[in-house]
Amino acid sequence: MKVEQIAIFLENKSGRLAEITSILAQKGINIRAMSLADTADFGILRLIVNDTESACQALRDEGFTVGKTHVVVIEVPDQPGGLASVLKQIKDGGLNIEYMYAFTQRSGETGLIIFRFDETDIAIETLNKAGVRILSGEEVYAI
């Protein structure tokens, strides 16, 4: 139930994001989810793509520093309180969230939340026990 995510470190200058997305497009790699965080000097682009290995290789071939991590993707109702109910389960389970980002598949139906936990396996076990739907990598890559 872990999903592979890639993280790309990039200089905080014009055109770098366009360069990365062009490299992936040329290789036929589809971006499923994206998050960009920046500091004064560099950014961290986190991506879930349909072909992690090919994306990593293509970006490394172009000189980018790329790492892989595992994240957990859960489904929540797209309604007020949907996220709050899951965060309560996380809090009650004593889980620590390193970061998260989200997107909606279909407005009014479901939202997907991508979590990076400090203890992924324990988080998966806790969320499963709470009845939270966790998506498999195959489900996420195929979105």
Q: Which residue has the higher pLDDT, 41 or 70?
A: 70
CATH 3.30.2130.10 domain extents, the chain: 3-70
pLDDT band at 42 (very low <50, low <70, confident <90, very high): confident
CATH 3.30.70.260 domain extents, the chain: 71-141
pLDDT in tens, 44-83: 999 999 999 999 999 999 999 999 999 999 999 888 998 9
Q: Domain 3-70: which CATH class?
A: alpha beta
pLDDT in tens, 103-134: 876 666 888 999 999 999 999 999 999 999 99
Structural contact between residues 85 and 42, judged by C-beta atoms closer than 8 angstroms: no
Model-level pTM?
0.89
Q: Domain 71-141: which CATH class?
A: alpha beta
Nearest to 1 by CA among 97, 86, 102, 73: 73
CA distance to 32, 105, 124, 138, per residue, from 73 (Å)? 12, 13, 10, 11
pLDDT in tens, 83-99: 999 999 999 999 999 99
Token couple for 56: 């990593």
Residues 6+ apart with CB under 8 A from 21: 31
